[in-house]
Chains A and B, each alone.
Chain A
């Protein structure tokens, strides 16, 4: 990652134009060429420095349902339960965290009803309680990582 990569990351966390030649417009602001910008973005995606480039959709506004769920999994069953939970395609992310409530996953479904079906399925297959913590209000989302 060099100085131009850093400037591209900082610039493109803010937004990207919607016009015929958007890369050209951004390249002019950054003082590089359109081709160079496209190549750099592609390179950083391939390299894993960027996880995504494109429109970031708001799942609930698109009509989908998201929820954060937590489980308290006994340590000696942790790996097996993780495999069972991850097996559900509705589970988008799953993190281990250092707390009695040690497994935290995001359920992404097209409807609320499908969300409940997934929760019931996870409880049935693991024998553990799933604490469903859907967001009631969003105060802020978005982070600018200055690099």
Chain B
């Protein structure tokens, strides 16, 4: 295949992938054949839709297909963003170690904003109470030991806005 026709094909895939995302972002159809239903809406073969979804799963554009429970309704009412000041040169190792803890839902390296914000490692912790979250954060502190210089827990006190992340059609 020539480079030009490969590029043309890639562009066609990108366009179809985007249409699939837009069609599926509000949810997978609750139909016995959900991918066939999406394919019918998009006017393409069901095999193409499944192939493109598998491709997006493989390259990480789709993290997974499944349910997102409302953690408040499941009793996980305390949500603490724990933030840590660790040496930049060891953040990769420490971030991976913290991210592996089973009670950490998100773990990121973010920039400091000195002097207002000295923390560079963020780990979100959910629990059934503030006390439970504080106990879990103490386990992170134990794991990091002297490699963390200071830390804080920012509990959420109110959701001010929550909408899904959406791509435009």
**Do A and B bind?**
yes
A contacts, CB < 8 Å to B = 8-9, 12-16, 18-24, 34, 38, 41-42, 44-45, 48-59, 61-62, 64, 66, 68, 70, 72, 82, 85-86, 91-99, 101, 103-106, 108, 110, 131, 133-145, 147
In the complex, per-residue mask of B147-167: 1 if CB is within 8 Å of any chain A CB, else 0: 000001011111111111111
Q: Is the CB of A147 within 8 A of B66?
A: no
Say yes or no: B117 contacts A101, CB within 8 Å: yes
B4 at interface, CB cutoff 8 A: no
Nearest residue in A to B67 (C-beta to C-beta)?
A12
Taking a contact as CB atoms under 8 Å apart, the answer to whether A86 and B68 are in contact is no
Given the interface pairs A56-B62, A104-B154, A134-B111, the reply to whether A145 lies near B71 with Cβ below 8 Å is yes
State the CA gap A45–B110 with chains docked (Å).
Answer: 33
From A54, A82, A99, B160 is in contact (CB under 8 Å) with A82
**B111–A133 contact, CB under 8 A?**
yes
- Tell whether A135 pairs with B108 under 8 Å between CB atoms, given A9-B69, A49-B73, A53-B28: yes
A22 contacts B69, CB within 8 Å?
no
- Residues of B within 8 Å of A12, CB to CB, are 66-67
B116 sits at the interface (CB 8 A)? yes
Residues of A within 8 A of B104 (CB): 140, 143
Residue picked from B24, B73, B91, most chain A C-beta under 10 Å: B73
Q: How far is the CB of B149 from chain A (nearest CB, A)?
A: 18
Contacts of B116 in A (CB 8 A): 72, 101, 131
Query: Do A104 and B81 touch (CB < 8 A)?
Result: yes
Pick from B27, B33, B92, B154: contact of A101, CB under 8 Å? B154
